[in-house]
Amino acid sequence: MNKKIIAFALVLLIVMGGVFALPNYTPATALLQSTIGDSFSHGFLIGDSTAYQTGVTVSDNAFSVDPELKYGFTAKHSSAFKAQLSVTAFTKTGSGIVNIDTVTVGNENPAQWTDSSTKFDLLVYEGTDVNKTVKKDVKIVITPKAIDDNTPVGTYTATVTVSLVTVS
């Protein structure tokens, strides 16, 4: 065979070989990421209700029988926290005030109330609870001070607030 023809055929082969060769690309990857969010609900369990309630009024006469409440939460959270209660004195439109004497949480001893900024620890979502669904509740008894003879007649209201605070 002619040497020229052989050389041409070789060059062609090399070029064609380049056409059919597999490219050496880096594989494409995609990172799929999702977050399971915190869930939280809380409130007061009034009477036989199993639903958390807030902003409601307990109409029983607190001066006849000490009000007994149940507070609870269901939580799945990424950090620890605790629920703290504060309660205002009973006040009446115009004048008239009946202070709170004590607040009893669960089976603990009654704790003295000083003013509406006094905080009472109710429940803790512990560090060991983090990212787990936890349901807790606790009984609270609020005892007003004894009614003084000079306390004006009328209807008094007090507000109980449970706030959540982070704990280290």
> Which stretch, 6-14, 23-31, 67-75, 109-117, contacts other proteins (CB under 8 A)?
67-75
d(CA 59, CA 46): 11
Q: Which two tokens stand for residue 5?
A: 């023809």
Binders of other proteins in range 100-139 (CB under 8 A): none
Residue of 99, 85, 96 whose CA lies nearest to 143: 99
Q: Is 67 among the residues that bind other proteins (CB under 8 A)?
A: yes
> Which stretch, 17-25, 80-88, 105-113, 129-137, contacts other proteins (CB under 8 A)?
80-88
Kindly tell me which of 42 and 113 has the beta carbon lying closer to other proteins: 42
d(CA 57, CA 46): 10
Selected from 63, 104, 111, 137, the binder of other proteins by CB under 8 A is 63
Map tokens 């050389």 to a residue.
Answer: 7
